[in-house]
Each structure stands twice: as structure tokens, then as C-alpha cells.
Chain A
Amino acid sequence: MAMLRRVARYLPSLVLLLVLLAVIPGGYPQWLAGYLVLFILQGYVAWLLFCKAGQQFYAYSATMTVGAYTTVVLEHYGIDHLVMEVVAGGVVAGVVAVAFFLSTSRARGFYAGIASFLLAILIPTVIQATTSVTGGQNGITVNGLNFTWGSTRYFVFIVVVVAAVVALLVWLSDTRVGRIFTLIADNEVLTEAAGIRTFNFKLLAYAIGGVVSGIGGGLYLNYFGSISSGDITVFTSVMIFFMPILGSRRSLYGPIIGACFLVLVPELFTSVEQYMDILMGTAYLVVMLFMQDGIVAGVANIIGRVRGTRRGGVCGGEKGFPAGDS
């Protein structure tokens, strides 16, 4: 039973692999599935940093952009190994995340949050200003893996990579490191008093989050074959931050559900594009007013009430999960 429960925690990765079925229809469904999976990866970065480690970090777009543009720069310098470029982009994004943490480690709560918000705004403005290198608002194109490998092969590649990374993050959450992240999110002072060097673990969280987000940025660039300063903005950061919260902070499926909601709804309702802001804003309000623990937890509660039982935790998620607010 315990073994089954342990395996069940990796179900989100298996669910992600189901997305591979989009290969069957191909075309737009496959493209949309790939686009969704790229953002699910970012959603899990937000899950790790905010929900798991309780860090007020909103600069996911910044690390994603750094990863993407590092890939561009390396390719333009003639390094002709796209997978290595993507990994290098992740490493550089990790360095940026760590540097950010080190420079703002004295800030607490929303001061740290606003500093990360500033980073999310600053990076695109730097991209826009350095037109000669980055192409600025006009953008820059690369001969991405999506074109050199073919769209189906690249789609399978990113789904497998994202599923593997998600499994890794879930595994991490079960290790001592993951449990310490939870303790830090719950009560950092008490954790420090227990003799745990919380600074080191927070640094680790930022490093892992930055690397994964940067790799996601490189994969994103290869998917589209081009990028500009207007593609990944502070609004992208906000959307990524919302994913695990709207999905459910307390569930391992939270980022998947949140990403499905935030990415698919605008894509599928393009016929009412002029009303999209009103629809999405209303959706945020409805979820937060009536399902404050997120969609997964809200639906589970409804099912529980229908069955006549109250359920605490949700499908493979941790019970008594700290909210992650400071």
C-alpha cells in the first residue's frame, strides 16, 4: 500500500506522457499540447519555489528569457549543439536566479517579491535595449530543434523531458531537501532554530528553479524558432505564478490543472478574443472566491460532499501542506 502510494506520487509525470497522444491528430492539437507542456514545466518551477519552499519569487519570465536568449547567443557564436545550448541556457538562468537571491537575501516577504517583480520587468527592457545582440522587439530567429528534428520528434522530446523533470521535482519533494523546503515555507525561524541552515536550502531552491526555468526557456525558443522582447513578459511571470495556485497548492496536479486553465482557455476561445480579459479575470475571481484552495481541491471537496464525506488532502498531494505565504 505504501509502495502504491509512493508510485502514485509520480502519476503527474505519467499524466504528462498521455499528452503524447496528441501526435495522433498532429497539426494544431499537437502544437497546442507542446505549448501547454512547456508552460506546465514553468508551473512546476513556481510550485517548487513558492508552494514548496515558500519563496516570494515572481521572475519566472526572467529566468525563462535568460535561458532562451543564452541559447540564441550561443548558437550565433557558432556552438552548433542545440541540446547543449539549452542546458547552458539553464545553467546561466540558474546563475541569474542565485545572484538574485544573494543580492536580495536581506529582503523579506513582499519586498523580496517586488524585487523579483522588478527583475521580471528589467530583463525584457534590457532585451529591448540591446537590439544589436537580441533583436529587441523585432526578435531574433534560430533554426530550432522543432525544425531540424521535425515537429513530431521535437514534441515527443519535450514531453519526455518535461515529464522526467516533473518526476525529478516530485522525487526531490520527498527527500530530506524537499521536507526542509516545506519546513522553511511553514516557519523559517523555527527551522533555523532547529539547526538547519535555511540560507543554503533557499539558495538550492533558487538554483534548481532557475536551471529548470532556463531549460524551459531554451525548449520554448526551439519550439517557436524565434523570440522577441514582447514574447515573455511580466504578465507571463504572473501567469506562471498563478498556475500552481489556481490548480491547487496542495496537489501535485496543481500546476498541470492551472496550466491547462491559463494556457488552453485563451487558445481555445479565440473567437471571443476581445472579451478574453473579462473572461480570464472573472475566472480568477470565481476560482479564488469559491475554490480558494485551487481547482483540484475545490473539485475534490465537491466530490467529497456529493459522496457524503469530507476529504482533506487531494489525489497524491501532501496533507497539511503549508500555504507558502509569508
Chain B
Amino acid sequence: MNMNMVLQSLISGVFIGGILALPVMGVALIYGVTGILNYSIAVIGTFGVFVSWTLVGHGLLVAVLGGIAVSFGLGFGLQQFIFNPLIERKGNDLTLFFIVTFGVATIVAGFTKVVFARPTISFQLPGTKFLTLEGVPINSQRLLAVCIAIGFLVLIWIFQKTTRTGRSLRATSQNLRMAKLVGVNVFLVYAVVSGIGVFLAFVGAFFWGALYNVTVSTGWDLTFYGYIIAIVGGIGNVWGGMLAAIVMGEVIAFAGNTVGGSWQSVVVYAVLFLILVVAPRGLLGSERSI
């Protein structure tokens, strides 16, 4: 493997990691605040991408806004009307929410298959250019995806530091009982966070659609990747999730350029497994706050 290929893999890995970081951040954010693992966010996000694809004829902005509205709305609505009542009755029962959110994901995936006749979609974002860095071509869309991922991380950090809702989020994740006592509407906070988490998954799936193809199974793939990487990073830890996503992006890129083919996936999952064996609480440890 020569230097050019190493550089290419490094850059490619950052881009892949940047896209994967979005659903990972969604998972980490939702768990960090609500304490539940929502397995449906990437599938709902993918549904949002299909909605966007349907609206593309009305312009890219309308398509994106439509997808965002649907994704955020579904995430918010599901949390508010299904998950919150369950949390109130049963607490953060992980097994219960595994099945419930998996059920929601199955319904949404089924709905996507039934409603959208075309099983595979992709987007052509305008203004794709190829830049070069040390002779390595860089797709501007991938660069944009990474910038957006980092941008959202910064935005979320600013949001929770400077806004009232953001402070409510932090308060809820740090001490639920105290947050309730001081008047924070924790269930509304949960719903907002859920909406944001699904929105992040939508953005990740959208860029996946722009760079590759999107099918119904993309939602499941991003779900598995999102959860596994979020937990490898340290569940609930947004920074840990971001780091794990970048690490996994690099592993995917290097594995693709060295072993390639079917063995690429084997290497990726084997590395993830090894990380959990060596660091059983994830790369940066678990954190129930953002």
C-alpha cells in the first residue's frame, strides 16, 4: 500500500465516518437524555429520505425540508405518544424498548416498501466538484457531508449550552428527578430530543443516498452501524460516538483498499468486536449526559 493509497484511505475514512457519525449522534443523544435505545431512528430517517426523493420534482430545498419535517415529526410524535407513556408506566426497561422500537422500525420499513414503489433511490446533488489534496481526488459532496456532521455536533453543543431548551436537555439527562422538580417538562424534552435524533439520522441517510444508493435495507444497515458504533464509542457519549464513527470510517476505508470484497465487512465487524473486548465500556466510556 503506497503513500497515495494511505492518504486516500485516510481521507475516505473521514468522509465515511462523517456520514456514519450522524445516526450515531442521534442514538447517543436520545440515549443520553431519555435512557432508552431507540432502534427505529435510522429506519425513520430513511423513510424521510424516500419522502425527499418523492418531492425532488418540486426542488431540492422543498425535498429536504419535506424530509426533515417528516423525520422530525415522526420522531417527536412517536416519543410523545408511544414511548413517553411507556416510560411513565415501565421506566427505561431496555428489553421492552428494544422490542417496541424494533416493532416501530419494522412498521416504518414495511410502510416504506409499500408506499414507495421504487426500491432503490439515489440523489444527484448539484455542484459536485472534485478537489485534490496531495494528488488525492476529493468529492465535494463527501466533504460537505463531513462538514455538516461536524457542524451539527458543534450546533448541538452550542444548543445545549446556550438555549433554555438545551439546558433543559442537560438537566434531564443529568438528574431527571431534579429536572422535574424545577419544572422542566421532561416528556416534552424527550420528544424534542427524539425528533432531533431522527433528524440527524435523516441527514445521514440523505447523504448516504447522495453518495451511494438508498434502499429500505439502508435504514437497517444504518441502524446496526449506528447502534454498534454508538456503543463502541460509549453509549450516551456524543463525542465518543463521533470518535468511534471516524475510527470505523478509517477501518472501512483501509479494509476496502487492502482486503476488499466480502472480507472488508469481516474486518470491520471484527475490529468493532475487538474494541469491545479491549474496552468493554466503549472508547470514551458511557455517559448519561451530553
A interface residues, Cβ below 8 angstroms from B: 103-104, 106-112, 114-115, 117-119, 121-122, 125-126, 128-129, 131, 136, 234, 238, 242, 245-246, 274-285, 288-289, 292, 323-325
Q: Check if A115 sits within 8 Å of B277, measured CB to CB.
A: yes
Q: Contacts A107-B276, A122-B273, A285-B104: A278 and B231 contacting too (C-beta < 8 A)?
A: no
Q: Check if A289 sits within 8 Å of B100, measured CB to CB.
A: yes
Q: What's the nearest-Cβ distance from chain B to residue A244, in Å?
A: 11
Interface string of B53-95 (1 = CB under 8 A from A): 0000000000000000000000000000010001000100111
Q: Check if A128 sits within 8 Å of B107, measured CB to CB.
A: no
A–B complex contacts, Cβ < 8 Å, 17 sampled: A107-B280, A109-B94, A110-B37, A112-B280, A114-B227, A114-B276, A117-B228, A118-B269, A121-B224, A125-B265, A125-B266, A128-B262, A129-B266, A282-B103, A282-B107, A285-B103, A323-B93
Chain A minimum-CB-distance residue to B276:
A115
Most chain B Cβ neighbours within 10 Å, of A117, A245, A323: A117
Q: What's the nearest-Cβ distance from chain B to residue A114, in Å?
A: 4
A173 and B277 alpha carbons, distance in the complex (Å): 30
Q: Check if B228 sits within 8 Å of A114, measured CB to CB.
A: yes
Binds A, one of B108-116, B138-146, B188-196: B108-116
In the bound complex, residues from chain B placing their C-beta under 8 Å from that of A281 are 102-110
In the bound complex, residues from chain A placing their C-beta under 8 Å from that of B114 are 274-275, 278
Q: Check if A280 sits within 8 Å of B106, measured CB to CB.
A: yes
A26 and B280 alpha carbons, distance in the complex (Å): 50
Chain B minimum-CB-distance residue to A114:
B231
Q: Contacts A110-B94, A324-B95: A277 and B109 contacting too (C-beta < 8 A)?
A: yes
Q: Check if A288 sits within 8 Å of B109, measured CB to CB.
A: no
A275 and B108 alpha carbons, distance in the complex (Å): 11
Q: What's the nearest-Cβ distance from chain A to residue B235, in Å?
A: 7
Q: Check if A111 sits within 8 Å of B266, measured CB to CB.
A: no
Is B96 close to A, CB under 8 A? yes
Q: Check if A126 sits within 8 Å of B266, measured CB to CB.
A: yes
Is B126 close to A, CB under 8 A? no
Is B161 close to A, CB under 8 A? no
In the bound complex, residues from chain A placing their C-beta under 8 Å from that of B104 are 281, 285
* Inter-chain pairs besides A279-B110, A281-B102, 8 sampled, C-beta below 8 Å: A107-B277, A112-B280, A121-B224, A129-B262, A136-B262, A274-B113, A285-B107, A289-B86
A122 and B269 alpha carbons, distance in the complex (Å): 6
In the bound complex, residues from chain A placing their C-beta under 8 Å from that of B272 are 118
A104 and B277 alpha carbons, distance in the complex (Å): 5
Interface string of B247-290 (1 = CB under 8 A from A): 00000000000000111011001101100110011100000000
Q: Check if B269 sits within 8 Å of A288, measured CB to CB.
A: no
Q: Check if B266 sits within 8 Å of A242, measured CB to CB.
A: no
One of B224, B231, B235, B281 near A234 (C-beta < 8 A): B224
In the bound complex, residues from chain A placing their C-beta under 8 Å from that of B265 are 125, 128-129
A255 and B207 alpha carbons, distance in the complex (Å): 41
Q: Check if A125 sits within 8 Å of B95, measured CB to CB.
A: no
One of A114, A119, A292 near B96 (C-beta < 8 A): A292
A205 and B277 alpha carbons, distance in the complex (Å): 20
Is B99 close to A, CB under 8 A? yes
In the bound complex, residues from chain A placing their C-beta under 8 Å from that of B269 are 118, 121-122, 125
In the bound complex, residues from chain A placing their C-beta under 8 Å from that of B103 are 280-285, 288
Q: What's the nearest-Cβ distance from chain A to residue B34, in Å?
A: 14
In the bound complex, residues from chain A placing their C-beta under 8 Å from that of B102 are 238, 281, 284
In the bound complex, residues from chain B placing their C-beta under 8 Å from that of A275 are 110, 114
A245 and B281 alpha carbons, distance in the complex (Å): 26
Chain B minimum-CB-distance residue to A111:
B280
Q: Check if B276 sits within 8 Å of A111, measured CB to CB.
A: yes
Q: Check if B280 sits within 8 Å of A277, measured CB to CB.
A: no
List 9 tightest A-B contacts by C-beta distance, closest first.
A277-B110, A284-B103, A281-B106, A281-B107, A129-B262, A278-B110, A107-B280, A285-B103, A122-B269
Chain B minimum-CB-distance residue to A121:
B269
Q: Check if B266 sits within 8 Å of A122, measured CB to CB.
A: yes
Chain A minimum-CB-distance residue to B109:
A277
Interface string of B124-136 (1 = CB under 8 A from A): 0000000000000
Q: Check if B95 sits within 8 Å of A323, measured CB to CB.
A: yes
Q: What's the nearest-Cβ distance from chain A to residue B238, in Å?
A: 17
Q: Check if B110 sits within 8 Å of A276, measured CB to CB.
A: yes
Q: Check if B273 sits within 8 Å of A115, measured CB to CB.
A: yes
Q: What's the nearest-Cβ distance from chain B to residue A128, in Å?
A: 5
Most chain A Cβ neighbours within 10 Å, of B105, B108, B273: B273
In the bound complex, residues from chain A placing their C-beta under 8 Å from that of B96 are 288, 292
A292 and B91 alpha carbons, distance in the complex (Å): 13
Most chain A Cβ neighbours within 10 Å, of B95, B262, B277: B95
In the bound complex, residues from chain B placing their C-beta under 8 Å from that of A125 are 262, 265-266, 269
In the bound complex, residues from chain B placing their C-beta under 8 Å from that of A109 are 94
Chain B minimum-CB-distance residue to A109:
B94
Chain B minimum-CB-distance residue to A229:
B262
One of A128, A246, A277 near B106 (C-beta < 8 A): A277
Q: Check if B231 sits within 8 Å of A111, measured CB to CB.
A: yes
A117 and B224 alpha carbons, distance in the complex (Å): 9
Q: Check if B106 sits within 8 Å of A284, measured CB to CB.
A: yes
In the bound complex, residues from chain A placing their C-beta under 8 Å from that of B86 are 289
